[in-house]
Structures are given as C-alpha cells and as structure tokens.
Structure 1
Amino acid sequence: MLVNQDQILTAVIETVQMVTVSFIFSILLGLPLGIALFVTRAGQILENRAVFSVLNIVINVFRSIPFIILLVAIIPFTRLVVGTSIGTAAAIVPMIVYAGPYIARLVESSLLEVDDGVLEAADAMGATPFQTILRFLLPEALSSLVVNFTIATIGLIGASAMAGTVGGGGVGDLAITYGYQRFDTVTMAITVIILIVMVQGLQSLGNFLSRTVGRR
C-alpha cells in the first residue's frame, strides 16, 4: 500500500514539531552551558578550572554517544518524562539530550571567535560579568551563533529521521515503515526529497539571517 498525501503531510508536521520543540529546549540548555564553558576557561572573566573541567567532561561524554544509541539508552528516562517511549513526544526527549551539549560546544566556539579587544573594552567601561556577556560577547558573536544554530537545527532534522527507527514518528518513521520495510522506493524517494528541501531551506534561511545580523 502506497502512502497518501495526508500521511506525508502528517509526517512533515511531526518532523517540524520534533525539530522545533527540541531546538527550543536545546537552546535553553545549550546556550547557558556554552557561555559557562567560555567564561570559566583559563584567562576569561570568570575563570574557574574546576567548573570548566567538569562541564567540559560532561559535554564531551554526551557528544561521544551516537544518537541512535542514546535514543535507546535513555528510554527509561524518556518514559519517566513523557510516559512513553514511542511517538513524536518520546523522540523529543533524546533529541534535546543529544543537541543540548552539541549546541553548548557550538556556542563556546562562537564566543571564542570574539576579538579580545571587545572584552578589554568591556573591562575598561567597568562592565560586570553579566553585562559583558549580555551586551558585548553575545552581540559580537551573534552572526556566528546564527550559523551554528542553523547547523544544530539541521543536525536535529537528521536525528528526527533516525528516531523513526524506533517509532519516533515524522518523515523518518514514514521512510522506515513504508520505504524500507515494505520496499516502497517511491516513498523512500519522497522522504529523501522532503529532507533535502528542509535542509536546503534551513541553510539558506540561516545564511540570510547571519548576513543580516552581521551587517548590523
């Protein structure tokens, strides 16, 4: 049985929901972690080797686990949070756990690109650490942050597709259920095209926003 337009539309909506919700919560988790990584580094405004070492190790541990393994490994935690391990809601939990540390590292990378003169100017003006982060570091790194957030979002699209292997819903589930298990090459081709369009669209939007904020 071939998939119909309603099934395809539902799968696309589920994928958008998974990526959007997981991206928002991953930012809420990853942005503070990334800032903390940067400011506690040696020579930075809130240097603290102990805090930096702990954060660095924890983030590296989570980033070392492939998403498909993480997806299965935290099933008990997923059940605890959303009450099930199957479906769109269940896929969001491991996607956040997967993307949060990744975004933290991307944020740290963006902040490291900020010229030291910006921090020197903030210090000369008597800015507090909070003011330095909010009014100097983040605005200067904004263009790079937009690019890196775009990369993270595209990674979440890939993760949402992998979530389909365990009944996570979305385009990935459609590809596995119909394209792979039922040898439906047409459905497989459609899902591939949808994912390509989504990635290309997001990358183009991210590039545009990065150039826009960069000019400002």
Structure 2
Amino acid sequence: MESNALGAILTGGQSTRMGEDKALVRLAGKPMGLWVADALEAAGLEVATFGGYQRIGDYETIADPSGMSGPLAGLLAALEFSERRPVFIAAVDQPLLQPHTVQALLSSWTHDAVIPLDEDKPQVTCAVYRASCLPAIRQVTSVNPDASMRDLLEYISARFVEPDEWAEWGEDGRSWRSVDTPEDLAAVHELLG
C-alpha cells in the first residue's frame, strides 16, 4: 500500500530509564529504531526521524525547533517538514508497531488527528496528525514551550479510536507499547520468542 503520509519517528527522549539511547537498543538483533522504521515503511510511508541526533539507518534526521524539546516539538518539526501531508507519529520505543494499524489509522481520517484510546488514555505517540494542527501547536507552545502532546488535545479536533474498533483490525495494543526500561525490553524479547 502506497501512502502520501510521512512516518515520523520521535527520537528525542533522554532514555534515562533504559540507560542507553533507545533508538539503538538491540531487539532480536536489530536496533529498536529500525523496528519502528520497518513498520512504517511496510505501511507505505516515507520515513524520517525527529528530535534526536542519533541517526537510525539512512533515514533523514531533523532536529527539534530551537528552544523546544519533547514529543510536541517533534510533532511540530514533522508537520513543518511534511509539506502539508498527513503525519503518522511513532515513538522510537514502540518496536511492536503494526503496519496494519498505521494503515487503519490513516484510513480513519476525518479530523485534525486520529488517536487510539487504550484504557481511556489517548495514545498520542502512535497517531495521525494533519497540518491543520500547526496553529494550535504554535499557540500551545508559545504559552508553554514544554507543553505535552496531551495539552494539544484541548485545541484540536481529534477522532479517538476506541478499543472495540482497533480490535476489529487485529490490533491488541502492542503497537503503542513502550519499551522504557531493561525489564520492558526483556518482556518484548519474550513476546517475540
């Protein structure tokens, strides 16, 4: 499936709980960042990384806007880079991202953002955003440069995808499962067998 969307991998975290750069942590012999990139490519997206300085494969790496950091800064950079294309955001620590989930969320396009809900929590780093979010991001970050992705939700029109809907396409929540610690990594290794 070809898509005109951009697959944006957010790589700007400090990785303090992991103890090393999560993008480069090996999972079944491959850096975790490449697991995410491979899933986005399998969904038909162009891939680039945002926020970090560590290169993942041959993918273009774009720094956060000056004076900003965090996922919202990465989203801003990705939307500006995307030339008005939809952007699928994925965190570098979500190596179980499923291509069919990327495709399903992109095809659910009706609002500024399409975001899965899991246990009533918006999974903001495994979601689709469009350029219409840019004014809201600029407004939120002008007041608070450290604003969170969840802060943005008050200012945009988002479609929240409920668990019964994402379960219909075969998602079980693994796409947004974060690997933040060595214990999380061991659990994902076990899942992969």
- For Structure 1 versus Structure 2, the TM-score category normalised by the shorter chain is under 0.3
Higher helix share: 1
Q: What is the TM-score normalised by the length of structure 2? A: 0.27
Higher RCO by CA contacts (8 Å cutoff, separation 6 or greater): 1
Rg larger in structure = 1
Higher strand share: 2
Q: What is the TM-score normalised by the length of structure 1? A: 0.24
